[in-house]
Amino acid sequence: MSIRRILLLHAGGTIGMAPTAKGFAPKAGLLERALAEMPGAGGDEAQIDLMLLDPLIDSADATPADWNRLAALIVANHDKVDGIVVTHGTDTLAFTSSALAMSLEGLAKPVIITGAMVPLFQPGSDGLRNLSDAIAAIGTCDAGVWIQFAGKLLSGPRARKMHSTDLDAFAAKQSDLPPSRTGTKIQHHAFQPTDIAVLPVAPGGSTHVISYALNHCDGVVLRCFGSGTVPGDPILAAGLAKAAERGIPVVAISETIKGGTSLGSYAAGAILTEHGAIDGHDMTVEAAYVKLTLALSMTRNLPDLRDFIETPLCGEFGKTPPTT
């Protein structure tokens, strides 16, 4: 029987934290101890190599540079292992899972991301369970980027953190498509620095900030009502006109959890289509932000950006991919 090789990349997060005077903070040594206390994790024939990212972070501090670092390590080790487990903070875990699913092309192994709501070795911790489930999933699940959490295996680019305290903290929108970007060989499309705003509309809420972003940012993810309506506000309309004039992408998504946008359904959303907003359909806010970041890392040409964002890449849209 051949030995199953697993790379465990520890990025930080609650799973590997310990109490400090300021609250929980990353602490080295906890993942090592967990592996030592889980003999036989991944089966008798598994060899788990642990690599710690430096520095270990609370995922609130994660940036696209961290997504690049993780992706580069996955590419460098892809052909040597049977799968990769990433331990990560839960707060931005769904951004990272979307980022890895979208930026890694030709992934032929499972990448399983997990974390914990309660640190390893603290009373009531879910860390050991999530870690051992993630390691076990390497032997059973298809290539792609997945989240293993509270007994559930979820599509990386469709998942969201749904609860800030429950151990069962994640859920994923429905998807029948594998969470991976097809390609003949493993490669990474790097994220470049961008200046993107993610902003919601609200009834009677200020549109000055949205307008400022439309006038100054490289791109905007606009969280609209329902199926893609926004207030018929002159400041917002002028901002959208300015964004169109500047040739910057505005991706419209829905504030609702399910269903997504369908621009053009209501007159109340007409200013979006009139000014060329891109329909994000039912992408999660995490997936929409990551996809816009990746798109702007590749090109600043608006028709190309629109094409890239509206074309299904790695299962980030629901069952029926939108036709563009």
Please report, as ranges, the residues that interact with ligand ASP according to CB under 6 A.
12-14, 58-60, 89-91, 115, 117
Q: Compare residues 171 and 268 and give the one whose CB is closer to ligand ASP.
A: 171
Residue whose structure tokens are 């997945």: 146
Three-state SS sequence of 191-222: CCCCCEEEEECCCCCCCHHHHHHHHHCCEEEE
Q: Compare residues 59 and 229 and give the one whose CB is closer to ligand ASP.
A: 59
Give min distance, CB of 139 to ligand ASP, in A.
Answer: 25
The residues, ordered by sequence, that sit 6+ positions from 320 with a Cβ below 8 Å of its Cβ are: none
Give min distance, CB of 277 to ligand ASP, in A.
Answer: 31
Q: Compare residues 96 and 132 and give the one whose CB is closer to ligand ASP.
A: 96
The residues pairing with 257 across neighbouring beta strands, listed in sequence order, are: none
Q: b or e along 211-232 (b: 16 or more beta carbons within 10 Å of the residue's beta carbon)? A: bebbeebbbbbbbbbbbbbbbe
Q: Compare residues 59 and 97 and give the one whose CB is closer to ligand ASP.
A: 59
Per the structure block, which two tokens stand in for 207?
């549109």
Per the structure block, which two tokens stand in for 46?
């598994």
The residues pairing with 137 across neighbouring beta strands, listed in sequence order, are: none
Exactly one of 14, 92, 207, 284 is catalytic; which is it? 14
Residue 252 and residue 226 in contact, taking contact as beta carbons nearer than 8 Å: no
Give min distance, CB of 51 to ligand ASP, in A.
Answer: 18
- Closest residue to ligand ASP, judged by C-beta, is 89
Residue whose structure tokens are 């967990």: 34
14 is catalytic: yes
Give min distance, CB of 22 to ligand ASP, in A.
Answer: 12
Residues with a known catalytic role: 14
